[in-house]
A and B are shown apart, each in its own frame.
Chain A
Amino acid sequence: MGAKTLLSHSFRIASKDLTELFRNRLGLVLLVVMPLFMMVMVGFIYPSNGSTLNNLPIGLVNEDSSYNNSTIPSQTFIMGLQAFNAQTNMLKLSNVSTVDDIKDMVQRGELNGGIIIPSNFSESIMTGQQGILIIVSDQSNPQVSATVQAALSAVFDQMGTQLAIQNVQPLNATNPLAIVKPYNVQTQGIVTGTPSYFDFIAPGIIAMTVMMSVMTGLPVAISQEKEIGTMDGMMVAPINRLSIILGKTMGQVARGLIQGVIILVLAVGLFGVTIHGNILLVFGLLLLGIFSFVGLGIVITSFTKDQETAQMLMMTLMFPMMFLSGVFFPIQQMPWFMQSISKVLPLTYAADSLRKVMVLGAGIPQIATELSVLIVFGVVMIAIAVPVFKRAMTR
C-alpha cells in the first residue's frame, strides 16, 4: 500500500476526529476556557516585578531614647519615611509601643512586619556612627517576608542616600551623588520594554498545552475508541495500522494547535504579551515540540488499555512536567538534582526556545541547541514507538 493511501486514510481519521470535536459544544468551550483560566490564574497570582505590592501593614516601634535631650535623628527618620511612603503608598504604617506588640500583631496576622528604631539610634547618629534599623519579618510566609524585607531595605537605602546627599552638601560638590553613590547601576534588556510575568509564562503554557495534547490526548483518544468498540471498525478495514495512529495524531495535533493559537491570541490581546520574534518561527517551534512528543505519546498509548488509566497517567505525567520544565518557575531556582531532571524533559527545551523567540526575539541560530535536542528526542522516540505500537495493535 502506497504512502498516498496511508496519508489519505490518516486524513479521513483526523477529519472524523475534528468533526466530533467541533460538534461537542461543551468540549469546545472548555478548549478555550481551560487555557484562559491557566493564564489568568498563574498570571495574576504571581506578581510581576513586585510592583503590585502596596499598603503592606507594617508596625513602627520607636524605642529611641534621647541623646543630649534630643531625638532629632529618629524624628527626621520617621518624617522622611512618612514623606517617602506618601509618594509610593507601599506601606501602611501604624505606631506600635513595644517590640512584643509587634510580635503579637504579626502572630495575629494584623501586620506583615515591623520596623524597630533601637534606643541608641539618636546616640549613634549624633556620635558619628551608623544608625541601626531593625526589620521584623513574618517568617510564616517566606514570600511576603522576603518582599517586605526587600521593600523596606529599598526604602531605607533611598532615605540613607538622601541623608548622605544633605551631609555632603557643605562640601560643594558638583554632583553629590557621585560621592555618595559612585556607582550608578542601570538595567538594560535585550528588547525594549519591561516584560511582565505573562511574558514569562505565556510561551511555557503554549508549549505545554500543545505538547500535552499529543502526549496525553492521544492515549485518551485511542483508549476511548477501544472502549466504545469503534477501534474494531478501523481495525477490520484493510488499512495500514500506521494510518490509524497517524490519523489520530493529526487530529490531536490540530486540536493542540487550535488551543495554542487561542492562548497566543489571549496572551497578546488580553494580557499585553508582545511577540518579539518571528511568528512563523513560533509555529515552527510548536510543530517541532509536537513532533518530539508524538513518539512518547504513541508509546504510552500502546501501554494504556482503558480511558481511566490513560487519564491517570496524564495527571501523573503532567504535574512534574509542568513544574520541572520551567513553565511556571525558573529552573535556576531549583536544587541541582531537580535541575538535572528538568534537563531531560523535552518540554524544558520547547518552553525555553519558545520563550527565547517570543520574549527575546531570538532566531534559529540562537536556539540551535534546543532545536537539536527536540529533533533527536523526537526521532528516537518515534523509532521506539512504531514497532511497540504495531505489536500492541495485533493481539
Chain B
Amino acid sequence: MNNESIIAVKNLTKAFGDFVAVDDITFDVKKGEIFGLLGPNGAGKSTTLRVLSTLARPTKGTAVIDGYDILKNDNEVRKLIGIVSEKMIMYNRLTAAENLRFFGNLFNIPKAVLNKRIDDLLELVQLTKWKNSQVGTFSTGMRQRINVVRALLNMPQVLFLDEPTLGLDPQSSVEIREFIKKLNQENGTTVLITTHMMVDADLLCDRIAIVDHGKIVALDTSTNLKKTISGADTTIISLELANLNQELIDTIRKLDCVDSVSQENSMHLRIIVHGNEAFDSVIDSVRAKKGKINSVQNLQPTLEDVFLHITGHQVRDVADQKIPMETRRRFGQSQQARGR
C-alpha cells in the first residue's frame, strides 16, 4: 500500500453458497482519483462495492479505507463514504428536502449545518424549485440527482457509485458524469464507480479495472489499456460487406491472424487481427468466398475491444439480466453454471 492510496483491497472474496461472486481481488485506489470497475453484469462489481461500503461482509480478505478496516471499524468507514446504489435510496412520499434531512440526521449533522447543506446540494443539481415536492412525482433524471446528492450529505471522502447512469437518457447521463467530474475536481473526492458502459469508464475514470467472473483481468488507465491492443502488431478493422453471411464470418474467424470477430449490424464486422499480413489475408479470404466489400476502415481501439481481447467475449454477451442478491444466495450453484 503506498502512501497515496485511500482504499486498499486485500484478497477480497465474497461467495454466496458455492457461487464465488468476487474471487480474491486485490487493488488500491489513490486519493482523489476516479477509479472504475468495468465489466458485464454479474461480474462481481456491485458485490465488491457492497462489501467495500460495509453493506455485505466479505467471505475472505478485507479492505482498508483511509486507515479504517471495513470489518473492524465499520462505523468509522461509514462516516467517510457515500454510496449511490443502483436502487434509488429515497422515499417517494417524502419531499426532496425531507428525504435529505432524514438521511442527514442519521449522520448526526447539526441541524443548521444540515439545512444549509441541503439547500446548497439542491442548488448544485438545480432542484431548489422542487425542494418541497414529493420525490414520487419526479422524473428518473431528477430522482437520480437526488439520489446522488443524498450520498454527499456527509461530505464523504470516498464516493461509491453503482451504475449511476443506468436507465438514464443520454442528456441525464451527461449531467451525472459532469457532476461526478466536478465533484472530484473541486472537492478532491475519491470516486469508485462500477459500470458496464464503456463510455462512462472512458470519459470519467483515471484508472479502470476490467472485471470478469469475479476477477480483475486488467487494471490501468484507459489509454494504456487501449495500447495493449493498438500497440505492437494488433489492428482493428471495420469491414462493410454487402452480402454479409454466417459463412463469411466463420471463414474470417478461422484465419490464424484473427483474434476476434464481432458483428456490429447486418453489414458491419469488427475484426481484431495481428501480424503484418493480417489485413491482406482477411480481404483475400473474403474475396475468395465472393464477399462484396463496400468499405474497409482502420479503427482506433475502444475499451470494448480491450475487453473482448482480454476476456474473449463481449460485455453484452454475458447475462443481460441483473441477478438479485437474494436469488444469487439461494441459487448460487445454477448461476455459476450459467455464468461460465
Shortest distance from the beta carbon of B51 to any chain A beta carbon, whole Å: 10
Contact A233 B93 (CB under 8 A): no
Least CB separation from B54: chain A residue: A236
Q: With A and B bound together, what is the CA distance between A394 and B57 in angstroms? A: 7
Establish whether residues A238 and B107, one from each chain, have CB atoms under 8 Å apart when the complex forms: yes
A12 at the binding interface (Cβ < 8 Å): yes
Are the CB atoms of A236 and B91 closer together than 8 Å? no
Report chain A residues within 8 Å CB of B85. Answer: 229, 232
Bound form: Cα–Cα A24–B78 in Å: 32
29 A–B contact pairs at CB < 8 A?
A5-B108, A9-B106, A16-B94, A16-B98, A16-B102, A19-B93, A19-B94, A19-B98, A20-B94, A23-B93, A23-B134, A24-B93, A228-B87, A229-B86, A229-B87, A229-B88, A230-B89, A236-B53, A236-B54, A236-B55, A237-B103, A237-B106, A238-B76, A238-B78, A238-B79, A238-B108, A239-B106, A305-B326, A394-B57
Residues of B within 8 A of A108 (CB): none
Q: CB-nearest residue of chain A relative to B85?
A: A232
Q: In the complex, what residues of A have CB within 8 A of residue B54's CB?
A: 235-236
Most chain A beta carbons < 10 A, residue from B81, B86, B105: B105
With contact pairs A9-B106, A12-B102 given, residues A232 and B89 touching in the complex (Cβ less than 8 Å): yes
* Shortest beta-carbon contacts, A-B, top 7: A229-B87, A237-B106, A233-B89, A238-B78, A238-B75, A23-B93, A20-B93
* From B82, B88, B102, B107, residue with most partner A Cβ within 10 Å: B102
- A370 interface residue, CB < 8 Å from B? no
Q: What B residues does A5 contact at CB under 8 A?
A: 108
Kindly state whether residue B83 has any CB partner on chain A within 8 Å: yes
The answer to the question of B174 belonging to the interface, with a C-beta cut-off of 8 Å to chain A, is no
Kindly identify which residue among A1, A229, A306 contacts B326, using a CB–CB cutoff of 8 Å: A306
Rounded to whole angstroms, the CA-CA distance of A237 and B87 in the bound complex is: 16
**Chain B positions within 8 Å of A163 at CB level:** none
Q: In this complex, what residue of B is CB-closest to A15?
A: B102
Asked if A234 CB lies within 8 Å of chain B CBs, one says yes
B81 touches A395 (CB 8 A): no
* Interface pair B93/A237, CB less than 8 Å apart: no
The distance from the CB of A241 to the nearest CB of chain B, in whole angstroms, is 10
Q: In the complex, how many angstroms separate the beta carbon of A290 from the nearest chain B beta carbon?
A: 24
Residues on the B chain within 8 Å of A305, using CB: 326
- Which residues of A come within 8 Å of B, CB atoms? 1, 5, 9, 12, 16, 19-20, 23-24, 228-230, 232-239, 305-306, 394-395
Please indicate the chain A residues that have their CB under 8 angstroms from the CB of B102 in the complex.
12, 16
Chain A contacts of B103 at CB under 8 A?
233, 237
CB distance from A52 to the nearest CB of B (A): 45
Given A233-B90, A236-B55, A236-B82, list of 5 further CB < 8 A pairs?
Answer: A16-B102, A19-B98, A232-B55, A233-B103, A394-B57
A395–B50 Cα distance when bound, in Å, is 10
User: What residue of chain B has the Cβ atom nearest to residue A306's Cβ?
Assistant: B326
Which of A1, A24, A237 is within 8 Å of B107, CB to CB? Answer: A237
Encoded as 1 (CB less than 8 Å from any A CB) or 0, chain B from 79 to 122 comes to 10111011111110110001000110111100000000000000
Chain B residues within an 8 Å CB radius of A239? 106
Distance in angstroms between the alpha carbons of A234 and B83 in the assembled complex: 11
Query: With a CB–CB cut-off of 8 A, which chain B residues contact A394?
Result: 57
- Bound: A179/B75 CA distance, A: 88
Contacts of A228 in B (CB 8 A): 87
Residues of A close to B53: CB separation below 8 A: 236
Expressed in whole angstroms, the minimum distance between the Cβ of B87 and any Cβ of chain A is 3
A34 to B94, CA, bound (A): 25
CB distance A232 to B83 under 8 Å? yes
B interface residues with partner A (beta carbon < 8 Å): 53-57, 75-76, 78-79, 81-83, 85-91, 93-94, 98, 102-103, 105-108, 134, 150, 326
In the bound complex, how far is the Cα of B83 from the Cα of A230, in angstroms?
12
Q: Name A225's closest neighbour in chain B (CB-CB).
A: B91
Q: A20: which B residues are within 8 A, CB to CB? A: 91, 93-94
Alpha-carbon distance A394/B55, docked complex (angstroms):
7
By a CB distance below 8 angstroms, the chain B residues around A24 are 93
What CA separation (Å) do A230 and B107 show in the bound complex? Answer: 15
Given known contacts A9-B106, A16-B94, A238-B107, is B75 in contact with A229 (CB within 8 Å)?
no
> How long is the Cα–Cα vector from A394 to B83 in the complex, in angstroms?
17
Which residues of B sit under 8 angstroms from A230, Cβ to Cβ?
Answer: 89-91
**CB neighbours of B89 from chain A (8 A):** 229-230, 232-233
Q: What residue in chain B is nearest A22 (Cβ atoms)?
A: B93
User: With a CB–CB cut-off of 8 A, which chain A residues contact B78?
Assistant: 236-238
**How distant is A7 from chain B, measured CB to nearest CB, in Å?**
13
With a 10 A CB-CB cut-off, give which of A24, A233, A234 has the most chain B CB atoms: A233
Closest to A247 in B: B106
In the assembled complex, which residues on chain B have CB atoms less than 8 Å from the CB atom of A233?
Answer: 89-90, 103, 150
Which residues does chain A contribute within 8 Å of B98, judged by CB atoms?
A: 16, 19
Q: How far is the CA of A237 from the CA of B83 in the complex (A)?
A: 10
Assembled-state Cα–Cα distance A1/B78 (Å): 14
Q: A229-B85, A229-B88, A305-B326 are in contact. Are A234 and B94 (CB under 8 A)?
A: no
Knowing A305-B326, A306-B326 are in contact, say whether A12-B107 is a contact too (CB < 8 A): no
Given contacts A9-B106, A12-B106, A19-B94, contact A235 B87 (CB under 8 A): no
Q: Return A240 CB to nearest CB of chain B, in Å.
A: 9
Task: Indicate whether A236 sits within 8 Å of B134 (C-beta atoms), given known contacts A12-B106, A305-B326, A395-B57.
Answer: no
Do A16 and B55 touch (CB < 8 A)? no
Which residues in A have their C-beta under 8 angstroms from that of B82?
Answer: 236
| Complex alpha-carbon distance, A395 and B16, angstroms | 10
Within the complex, what minimum Cβ distance (angstroms) separates B303 from chain A?
Answer: 28
**Across the interface, which residues of B come within 8 angstroms of A237, CB to CB?**
78, 103, 106-107
Residues in chain B near residue A229, CB distance under 8 A: 85-89
Measured in the bound complex, the distance between the Cα atoms of B89 and A20 in whole Å is: 15
> In the complex where A235-B55, A238-B75, A238-B78 touch, is A12 in contact with B105 (Cβ < 8 A)?
yes
Given contact pairs A9-B106, A236-B78, A306-B326, A395 touches B56 in the complex (Cβ within 8 A) = yes
A205 to B21, CA, bound (A): 48
Assess whether B106 is in contact with A16, with CB atoms less than 8 Å apart: no
Closest to B79 in A: A238
Residues on the B chain within 8 Å of A235, using CB: 54-55
User: Which residues of chain A have C-beta atoms less than 8 A from B326's C-beta?
Assistant: 305-306
Q: Which residue of A lies closest to B153 (CB)?
A: A237
Q: Closest CB-CB distance, B202 to chain A, in whole Å?
A: 28
Q: What residues of A have a CB within 8 angstroms of the CB of B75 in the complex?
A: 1, 238
Name the B residues within 8 Å of A306 (CB-CB).
326
Q: Please give the distance in Å from B155's CB to the nearest CB on chain A.
A: 13
Cα A238 to Cα B326 with chains together (Å): 24
CA distance A235 to B89 in the complex (A): 11
